Structure 1
Amino acid sequence: MNWSVETLNETVDAELAALPADMRARFIWISKLITEHGLENVGEPYVKHIEKALWEIRLKGRDGISRALYVTVKPKRVIVVRVFIKKTQKIPRKEIELALKRAQEIET
């Protein structure tokens, strides 16, 4: 079975849609890497572990950088729970807390 990449809900869809076009294209490209090659075969610089069950898809574009925070659930599903434009070196704690809170909504 192949991996799938999904968003949690319409709120996350809107966050993704708000990104500049080049960052959205990068998200689609990395998602395709995950579905075609398997998440276990896609590492840095595309994805990176944050903390607990939270990981990030790293997006770079002409206007800066953004992150799509996700968790994995069985069977082989990547669920994106938060998308935002990154303005500082570290991911703000409030973004991590929001992503972890949203991740609790997922039915496994």
Structure 2
Amino acid sequence: MSYTIDYYSDDVQAEILSLPPGVLADYLRLADLLEELGPAIRLPFSRAMGDGLFELRPHGREGIGRVFYCFLLGQRIVMLHSFIKKTQETPRKELPIAQSRLQEVKDADAR
């Protein structure tokens, strides 16, 4: 059974769609794979970040992107936050944004 992708907000969707062209092309390829495989997708394409948070790992000639996402009941995937990596490690400010949105989505889904 395939999964569907939703976005935390229109702003998050616009942020993802404004990734550099090569990174966006790889994101779209990985998103198709994610819809097909769901949680079975693994490194190097995706990585678990803990507490139900995952990162999709698109890259292109322009750089490396990251898109944080989670799984919800009903075969749903929610894209929470994205950014372009400029260093080897995830910038400190990016992870708390995704974690906060993850909690909001989980709370809303529990209702």
User: How high is the TM-score relative to the length of structure 1?
Assistant: 0.90
1:49-93 CA-to-partner distances (Å, cap 9, x unmatched) read 112221100011101101000111111211110010011111122
How many residue pairs match? The answer is: 107
Moved over 6 A (4+): none
AA aligned opposite 2:63: G
What's the C-alpha RMSD, in Å, of the aligned pairs? 1.3
* Distance change (3 Å), C-alpha of 1:51 and 1:41: closer
Runs of 5+ in structure 1 lacking a partner?
none
AA aligned opposite 1:90: E
Aligned position for 1:51: 50
Per-residue deviation, 1:14: 1.9
Per-residue deviation, 1:18: 1.9
3-state SS of paired residue (2:58): strand
Aligned position for 1:76: 75
Aligned position for 2:2: 2
User: How high is the TM-score relative to the length of structure 2?
Assistant: 0.87
Runs of 5+ in structure 2 lacking a partner?
none
Larger helix proportion of the pair = 2
